[in-house]
C-alpha cells in the first residue's frame, strides 16, 4: 500500500467505498499488519495460521461482537473489568484451551478492550510455550494503543502489570464499526491515549476522520515498537502521562473497568491528568516553556478530559505509588517533554513532584 495510506490518508476501492487502512509493524519475522476500517473483523480468517485446526475466542460478557476465525472454535467469556487481569484468568484461559484439545499450531483470538487483549495475549504467550494470537480490539483505547505492540500482562495485589511478557500478535483488526455503541466515557478514555500521541509527533488528529485518526496513532506506535520492541529504551515514551495515571489507579481513583462507578476516572481520563502533570513538572524543571504547558492543557481539555486531580487524592500517597512504577530504578523516574522531545528522566526530586501535585488540586 502507499505511504499516504499507511499514515492514515483515506483510500477507496473500485466501488467507491472507504477501503481499510493497513499499517505494518516492522519486526522482521515477527512483523504483522494492523488493519483499520469498518467491517475488517470479517477478514480475521485470512490471518489464521495455515496449520491451525482450532481456535479459542476470548471475550467478555456484554461486548457482543462475533468473530469467525474460519476454523472450528469455541468462545470463552472471562470476567468483566479490571478483575479479569489476574493470573487466575490466565489459568482459566489455558485450561479452557487444554480441554478444547488446542495444540501449538492453533490460534487464540482476543475480542474486546485492553483488558481482554492483555490477558489473552499473556495466556497465548505461555500456552504450549507460545501459540498464535489475533487481536480484535473493540474500544478506541484498544485500537489506538493496547492491542498494538505485543506487551501483555496481568496485575498482582502489589501493583499493575507486574507479570507479563512480550508476545506479538500475528494480526490486529481495528474494526471501527465496533466503536459505534461505545458509551461516552469509553470514548473519553480512548481520547486520553489519543491525546498522548499529539505530543509524540502526531499532529492535526482533529482534522481527520475516525479511521484515519486510529491509523495515525497505530502508525506512530508501530514505528516506536519497531525501534525498541522489548522496551529497553525509546519505547518508554509510549508511557507518557501514565506514571501518574497508574498511581491514580493503584490508589483507587481510576479504573480500566468499563463498569466502574461514575465517581472513578477511566484509564484514559487518568492519562489526561497525567499528561498535564508531566507538562507542569517539566516546566518546573526548566525543560519546557509555559506555552508548551498550555498546549497540553488545551489538547487534554479539548477531548473533554479532566486536567486536575480528583477530590480526595493525596499527593504524598501518589508520590509513594509513583516511586514503585516499573520504570523506576530506585529513584523517581518520569517520561517528560523537553527540548529534544519526550524522553525518560531519572532522579526527579520527590519534593518537587509533591509541589506539582498540590498545584493540580487547584492550590496554584
HEC-encoded secondary structure of the chain: CCHHHHCCCCCECCCCCECCEEEEECCHHHCEEEEEECCHHHHHHHHCCCCCCEEEEEEECCCCCCCCCCCEEEEEEECCCHHHCCHHHHHHHHHHHHHCCCCCCCEEEEEECHHHHHHHHHHHHHHHHCCEEEEEECCHHHHHHHCCCCEEEEEECCEEEEEEEECCCCEEEEEHHHHCCCCHHHHHHHHHHHHHHCCCCCCCHHHCCHHHHHHHHHHHHHHHHHHCCCCCCHHHHHHCCHHHHHHHHHCCCEECCCCCCCCCEEHHHHHHHHHHHHHHHHHHCCCCCHHHHHHHHHHHHHCCCCCCCCCCCCHHHHHHHHHCCCCCCCCCCEEECCCCCCEEECCCCHHHHHHHHHHCCCCC
Please report, rounded to a whole number, the percentage of residues in the chain having pLDDT higher than 70.
93
Judged against a pLDDT cut of 50, whether residue 100 lies above it is answered with yes
Please report, rounded to a whole number, the percentage of residues in the chain having pLDDT higher than 90.
82
Judged against a pLDDT cut of 60, whether residue 363 lies above it is answered with no
Over range 89-109, report the average pLDDT. Answer: 98
Interval 37-64: pLDDT, tens: 999 999 999 999 999 999 999 999 999 9
Over range 110-120, report the average pLDDT. Answer: 96
Interval 254-275: pLDDT, tens: 887 777 777 789 999 999 999 9
pLDDT of amino acid 213: 96
From residue 94, give the alpha-carbon distance in Å to each of 18, 100, 123, 339. 38, 10, 6, 47
Domains, the chain, ordered by start: 3-182+200-227 (3.40.50.1970), 240-359 (1.20.1090.10)
Looking at the whole model, is its pTM more than 0.85? yes
Over range 113-139, report the average pLDDT. Answer: 97
Over range 199-214, report the average pLDDT. Answer: 92
Cα torsion 302, 307, 312, 317 to 10°: value is 140
229 band by pLDDT with thresholds 50, 70 and 90: very high
From residue 145, give the alpha-carbon distance in Å to each of 140, 218, 245, 259, 260. 8, 7, 15, 20, 21
pLDDT of amino acid 336: 98
Judged against a pLDDT cut of 80, whether residue 10 lies above it is answered with no
From residue 304, give the alpha-carbon distance in Å to each of 140, 170, 279, 330. 15, 35, 18, 35
Average pLDDT, the chain: 91
pLDDT of amino acid 324: 82
Judged against a pLDDT cut of 80, whether residue 3 lies above it is answered with no
Judged against a pLDDT cut of 60, whether residue 12 lies above it is answered with no
343 band by pLDDT with thresholds 50, 70 and 90: very high
Judged against a pLDDT cut of 70, whether residue 1 lies above it is answered with no
Judged against a pLDDT cut of 60, whether residue 85 lies above it is answered with yes
What is the Cα 70 distance to its own chain's centre?
27
Amino acid at each position: 500500500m502507499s505511504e499516504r495510506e499507511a499514515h492514515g490518508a483515506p483510500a477507496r476501492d473500485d466501488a467507491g467505498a472507504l477501503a481499510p487502512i493497513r499499517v505494518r509493524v516492522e519486526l522482521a519475522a515477527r512483523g504483522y499488519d494492523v488493519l483499520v476500517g469498518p467491517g475488517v473483523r470479517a477478514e480475521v480468517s485470512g490471518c489464521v495460521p495455515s496449520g491451525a485446526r482450532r481456535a479459542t475466542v476470548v471475550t467478555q460478557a456484554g461486548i457482543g461482537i462475533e468473530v469467525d476465525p474460519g476454523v472450528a472454535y469455541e468462545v470463552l467469556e472471562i470476567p468483566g473489568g479490571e478483575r479479569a487481569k489476574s493470573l487466575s484468568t490466565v489459568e482459566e484461559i489455558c485450561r479452557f484451551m487444554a480441554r478444547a484439545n488446542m495444540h501449538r499450531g492453533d490460534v487464540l483470538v482476543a475480542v474486546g478492550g485492553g483488558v481482554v487483549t492483555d490477558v489473552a495475549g499473556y495466556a497465548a504467550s505461555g500456552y504450549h510455550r507460545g501459540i498464535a494470537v489475533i487481536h480484535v480490539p473493540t474500544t478506541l483505547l484498544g485500537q489506538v494503543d493496547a492491542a498494538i505492540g505485543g506487551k501483555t500482562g496481568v496485575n498482582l495485589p502489589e501493583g499493575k502489570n507486574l507479570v507479563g511478557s512480550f508476545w506479538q500478535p500475528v494480526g490486529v483488526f481495528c474494526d471501527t464499526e465496533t466503536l459505534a455503541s461505545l458509551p461516552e466515557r469509553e470514548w473519553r478514555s480512548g481520547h486520553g491515549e489519543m491525546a498522548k500521541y499529539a505530543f509524540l509527533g502526531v499532529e492535526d488528529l482533529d482534522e481527520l476522520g475516525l479511521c484515519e485518526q486510529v491509523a495515525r496513532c497505530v502508525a506512530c506506535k508501530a514505528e516506536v515498537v519497531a525501534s525498541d520492541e522489548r522496551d529497553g529504551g525509546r519505547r518508554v515514551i509510549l508511557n507518557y502521562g501514565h506514571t501518574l495515571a497508574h498511581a491514580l489507579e493503584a490508589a483507587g481513583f481510576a479504573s480500566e473497568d468499563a463498569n466502574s462507578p461514575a465517581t472513578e476516572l477511566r484509564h484514559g481520563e487518568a492519562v489526561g491528568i497525567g499528561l498535564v502533570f508531566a507538562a507542569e513538572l517539566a516546566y518546573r524543571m526548566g525543560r519546557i516553556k509555559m506555552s508548551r504547558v498550555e498546549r497540553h492543557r488545551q489538547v487534554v481539555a479539548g477531548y473533554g478530559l479532566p486536567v486536575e486531580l480528583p477530590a480526595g487524592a493525596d499527593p504524598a500517597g501518589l508520590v509513594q505509588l509513583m516511586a514503585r512504577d516499573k520504570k523506576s530504578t530506585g529513584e523517581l523516574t518520569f517520561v517528560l517533554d523537553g527540548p529534544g522531545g519526550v524522553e525518560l528522566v531519572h532522579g526527579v526530586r520527590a519534593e518537587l513532584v509533591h509541589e506539582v501535585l498540590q498545584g493540580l488540586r487547584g492550590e496554584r
